Structures are given as C-alpha cells and as structure tokens.
Amino acid sequence: MKPVYTLEDLVSRDVLDAGVHKPARLAVLGYPIAHSASPRMHQPALDAEGIDARYIRLEVEPGNIPEAFARMRALGFIGCNVTVPHKLEAMAACDEVRPDARALGAVNTVRFDADATRGFNTDGPGFANAIEDEFGVPLGSLTVAIAGAGGGAGQAIATQCVLLGMERLVLANRSVEKLETLAERLGELGGRTEVSMFPLTGAALMAACQDCDLIVNTSSVGLKEGDPSILTADCLRAGHLVYDTIYQPPVTPLLALANQTGCRTANGKSMLLHQGALAFQHWFPGTDPLAVMKAALA
Ligand code: ATR
C-alpha cells in the first residue's frame, strides 16, 4: 500500500493492492497531496460504517483531472475529494454541478453515479457548520470580515456568507484588484449582503473590522514560522469571534493576538472536519460520520 498513488496506478485493481487491502474506492486528488489529512478521517468513518472501501491519496498533475475521473470510474470508485489546485478543473470535468457549488466557483467533492459524474462543494457549508459548532451561532446571523479574501478559500467563504443572506460582509486583501473581481461575482448572486472592500492596512479597515462579529483569516499568512499576524491588533477587540482557516500551526499569530485581546478563537481543523463529514454524506446519504471523524482528527 503506497502513501500516495498516481494516475499510472489507476490501470487495474491489482496495482491498487486489491485482495491485500480493502478495495480503493475513494480518494483525495491534489498536487501535491502527500500532506493531506483526509484519509485520516475518512478511513475510520468508512470502517465504522462497515463499508468495504479504502480512501487513498492520489497525486494528479494539473490538466489530468478528466483522465483521472475516467480511470476511477472504470475501476468502480464511488467518488473523490478534490483539493488545490484542481477545484476549478474538477468543476469543468463533471457532467452535473450542484447550483451552490457553481456559485462557489469550485468543486471539492465528486460522486461517480451510474448515469453521471456529479460535483458538489462542501467547503462553504463546512465552514458554516464549523462556525456554528465552535461558537454556537449561525454564520448567517453574523457580520463578517475576511482577511486574505483573494484566494480560493476566501472566495468560497465569502460566497457562502452571501448565499446565507448575511447583512454585511467586509473583504480585505493585500491586492485590492482581486477583491474587485470577487465582489463582482458576489454581486451576480443577487443577495442582500452589503459588501465592502479594503486593503490589509489602514484606519478604514480597522473601523470596519471593529464593527464586525466574526473575523476570518483565509490567507496562507500564518502557515510558515516567522509569519506575522495578517491583521494588526487595532482590528481586534474583546468579544470578537476569530477563526483561522489554518490548522497547522494550531495557534497562528492572528489567533495568538486574538487570545491576548480577549477574543473567542478557533482554528481550521473544524472546517476540515465538517467539509469532510458533508462529503462523506454525499457518497453515503443517511450516515452520521461526524463523531468518528472528530475523534480521528483529535
Ligand atoms: P489560493 O488559495 O487560490 O491558492 P493563494 O495564492 O495561496 O491563493 O493566496 C491566498 C490568499 O493569501 C490571497 O488572498 C493572498 O493575497 P493576494 O491576493 O494579495 O496575493 C494572501 N496572501 C498570501 N501571502 C500573503 C502575504 N505575505 N501578505 C498578505 N496576503 C498574502
């Protein structure tokens, strides 16, 4: 059993170690993919449900998603998760895409049904469930500021906020041009949310953040040792809810600053968990994998 399989392995069940291990029927596709924590939570959930399937990591180079889907289908895979950088390519490679995934602009979960390859997005809904789980309040009832909204995670979370009919959304990013494209897309959703945009520094952003209930980091700032906090201390106040989509390290510079300020904080582990549980339920409707997955990630 390999820690990472490749497209070349998707030629026969023998290459995937059939007969030796449970048959590979689910996978997470990315490039690179060796670091993915997804098998760590999906495999125990499969085992607990008594499903005869193995969840593998599959390294797929950009451009090869349609081929990967075709080979997985031929080998009887149930579905897959898709991560960076494949979420757009996966959307294009599906026969049908759920409207909310289309609005989110990305597919992270795929189901190989007999009649069609169907695409879903559980990142946005998984984030909403994570916020309710961590802080005990529905995401749609909050006003939210997203720092580093220019990347894929920022786009998914901003879209989820608008789909939930949130009253007010603040977007902040190093390059403001990226926000203009995002704001245009959010406007096309036709919701009631008032969206404002700021660069990452300045008094206007500080005032806008102070006025929000929830602050979210969706950037990669905080992943690397020595990274600063994406926001300065004057953007935070006691009572703020602060969520970092990063979970490694568990306490990012933003969360450390928020803890010192008296905010309630949580990291991206709960988003990983909830998007995973929702994906599992797309493959196996009626199951409830959350508790097993949570224990496996702990
Ligand atoms: P993706 O998630 O699509 O792969 P990314 O390139 O990893 O995107 O960037 C994610 C976010 O992190 C972006 O909002 C990016 O800001 P820019 O749009 O201005 O590039 C943000 N980001 C990355 N490094 C940053 C840094 N050193 N300072 C501020 N923001 C940063």
Mutate to test the pocket of ligand 1, among 146, 174, 216, 271 (most ligand atoms within 8 A of CB): 174
Across 53-70, average pLDDT: 98
**Arithmetic mean of pLDDT, 226-233:** 97
Helix, strand or coil for residue 236?
coil
* Residues annotated as part of the active site: 87
Gap from CA of 173 to ligand 1 centroid (Å): 8
Quick one: which of 65, 63, 1 has its CA closest to 28?
65
**pLDDT (tens digit per residue) in 139-177:** 999 999 999 999 989 999 999 999 999 999 999 999 999
For ligand 1, atom 29: residue with the closest CA = 174
Q: Is the CB of 91 under 6 A from ligand 1?
A: no
Bridge partners of 242, per DSSP, are 215, 265
Atom of ligand 1 lying closest to residue 85 CA: 4
Burial of residue 213, with CB atoms counted within 10 A of its CB: 0-12 exposed, 13-18 middle, 19 or more buried: middle
Give pLDDT tens digits for 181-225. 999 999 999 999 999 999 998 999 999 999 999 999 999 999 999
User: What number is the average pLDDT over the span 267-272?
Assistant: 98
Tokens at 218, concatenated: 């969706």
Give the per-residue pLDDT at 56: 97
In one-letter notation, the amino acid at residue 190 is G
- Helical packing angle, 152-163 and 123-135, nearest 10°: 70
Q: Does ligand 1 lie within 6 Å of residue 253's CB atom?
A: no
Q: Please identify, by atom number, the ligand 1 atom nearest to the C-alpha of residue 200.
A: 29
Confidence of residue 1 (pLDDT cuts 50, 70, 90): confident
Q: What percent of the chain has pLDDT over 70?
A: 100
User: For residue 258, which amino acid is it?
Assistant: A
pTM of the model: 0.95
**Residue in 49, 45, 55, 59 with CA at minimum distance from that of residue 23:** 55
pLDDT over 90 at 280, yes or no: yes
| Ligand 1 proximity of 151 Cβ (cutoff 6 Å) | yes
Measured in angstroms, how far is the CA atom of residue 277 from the centroid of ligand 1?
27
pLDDT at 211: 97
User: DSSP label at 62?
Assistant: T
Q: Decide whether any atom of ligand 1 lies within 6 Å of the 117 Cβ.
A: no
Ligand 1 pocket residue status of 175, Cβ below 6 Å: yes
Q: Is 229 in the pocket of ligand 1 (CB under 6 A)?
A: no
Average pLDDT on 94-105 reads 95
- Contact between residue 244 and residue 256 where contact means Cβ atoms under 8 Å apart: no
C-alpha of residue 17 to centroid of ligand 1, in Å: 39
State how far the Cα of 52 lies from the Cα of 148, in Å rounded to an integer.
Answer: 41
Burial of 55 (0-12, 13-18, 19+ CB in 10 A): buried
Over residues 18-39, mean pLDDT:
94
